[in-house]
């Protein structure tokens, strides 16, 4: 409940959040009961021409009976109750890990009320030097390999792999010689800056999924150690992938982004055409583009969940979204 994904107006349906812990949590039913009532009440209030909204608004100035108001009041009371009004104490939020509780029971996060929305709290890395295999029942996140990839020069390539290739070329070139990256280096890689405002962890917050993605990238894309053993079209593909990764631009480097690429990124975000956005993303990223990718990822999870509730399998839903979003006339919503 303290990790609400805000969409600007606060009207997020938490049943769409891809989190098995939340979906199976008992108090979720109480939350759904309260918020369903609030949504009906707010609709009635908005439809009434006789009510003075300012007169019935709370001190925070939020719309009466709105989810924003509810989250705001809940946040205030949570901190007050947990600390018993003692300003020297701090409230905490606790959450467990999805599995392997013997090894890692979870995390405590200090909770400090500011205002709605309650900010998402990043997970610290804790005792994760070894990466456990993913549960066979977990849903694979196909965002990077299905949505953020395209075919070029006869091969498929993901923006995520290009970004990792640039970082590994810069910080861990030895990985490209032996084809192996340790858990320690994966942790270091996750903390590397990818723009003036963000580290790689912003795009890949889940360490276990990230570790698997990195190793998949090293195995399938960053195979430049085999250049001397290949020829023909296969060698061309390896050289082309290396060229794309090497030329990738990041604003946090000394070279930064050239003016043409900055203009292209801004134009692509304004245009909101996924084909254009992916094409530009192979050249480089800035903070605005990374923030857009983060929002697109959230939107993807939400829309896939909607399709899955209609009976689609996750792979079928992902394929449907890719086909729709890559169509020439489709425009991504402004809410992303």
What pLDDT digit, counting tens, does each position of 8-32 carry?
Answer: 444 445 445 545 555 666 777 787 7
The closest of 161, 134, 155, 151 to 322, measured between CA atoms, is 151
Give the pLDDT confidence score for residue 265 in this predicted structure.
Answer: 95
Q: Residue for token digits 């009510």?
A: 51
Report domain extents, the chain. Answer: 14-111, 143-325
Give the pLDDT confidence score for residue 292 in this predicted structure.
Answer: 93
- When comparing pLDDT for 134 and 327, which is higher? 327
List pLDDT tens digits, range 307-335.
999 999 999 999 999 999 999 889 998 87
Give the pLDDT confidence score for residue 10 in this predicted structure.
Answer: 45
List pLDDT tens digits, range 235-264.
888 899 999 999 999 999 888 899 999 999
**Tokens, residue 321:** 């979204």
Q: Residue for token digits 């890395």?
A: 125
Please tell me whether the overall predicted TM-score, pTM, comes out greater than 0.85 for this model.
no
> Helix H segments across the chain?
20-23, 27-47, 53-56, 67-83, 159-171, 175-178, 183-190, 207-220, 232-247, 259-271, 274-281, 287-308, 314-325
Under 8 Å CB-to-CB from 173, ≥6 apart: which residues? none
Mean pLDDT across the chain, nearest whole number?
Answer: 80
């Amino acid at each position: 409940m303290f990790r609400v994904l805000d969409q600007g107006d606060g009207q997020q349906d938490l049943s769409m959040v891809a989190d098995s812990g939340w979906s199976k949590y008992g108090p979720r039913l109480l939350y759904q009961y309260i918020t369903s009532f609030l949504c009906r009440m707010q609709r009635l209030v908005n439809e009434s021409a006789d009510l003075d909204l300012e007169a019935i608004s709370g001190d925070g100035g939020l719309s009466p009976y709105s989810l924003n108001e509810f989250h705001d009041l809940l946040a205030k009371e949570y901190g007050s109750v947990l600390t018993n009004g003692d300003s020297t104490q701090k409230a905490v939020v606790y959450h467990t890990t999805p599995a392997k509780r013997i090894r890692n029971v979870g995390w405590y996060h200090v909770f400090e009320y500011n205002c709605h929305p309650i900010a998402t709290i990043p997970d610290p890395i804790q005792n994760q030097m070894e990466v456990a295999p993913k549960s066979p029942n977990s849903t694979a996140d196909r965002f990077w390999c299905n949505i953020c990839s395209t075919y070029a020069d006869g091969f498929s390539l993901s923006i995520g792999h290009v970004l990792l290739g640039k970082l590994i070329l810069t910080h861990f070139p030895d990985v490209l010689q032996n084809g192996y990256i340790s858990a320690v280096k994966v942790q270091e890689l996750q903390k590397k800056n990818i723009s003036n405002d963000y580290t790689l962890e912003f795009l890949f917050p889940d360490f276990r999924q990230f570790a698997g993605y990195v190793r998949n990238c090293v195995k399938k894309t960053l195979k430049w150690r085999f250049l001397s053993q290949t020829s023909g079209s296969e060698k061309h593909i390896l050289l082309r992938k290396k060229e794309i990764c090497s030329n990738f631009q990041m604003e946090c480097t000394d070279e930064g982004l050239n003016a043409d690429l900055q203009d292209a990124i801004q134009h692509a975000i304004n245009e909101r055409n996924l084909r254009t956005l992916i094409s530009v993303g192979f050249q480089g990223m800035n903070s605005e583009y990374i923030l857009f990718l983060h929002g697109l990822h959230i939107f993807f999870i939400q829309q896939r969940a909607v399709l899955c509730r209609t009976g689609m399998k996750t792979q079928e839903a992902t394929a449907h979204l890719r086909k729709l979003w890559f169509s020439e006339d489709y425009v991504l919503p402004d809410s992303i």
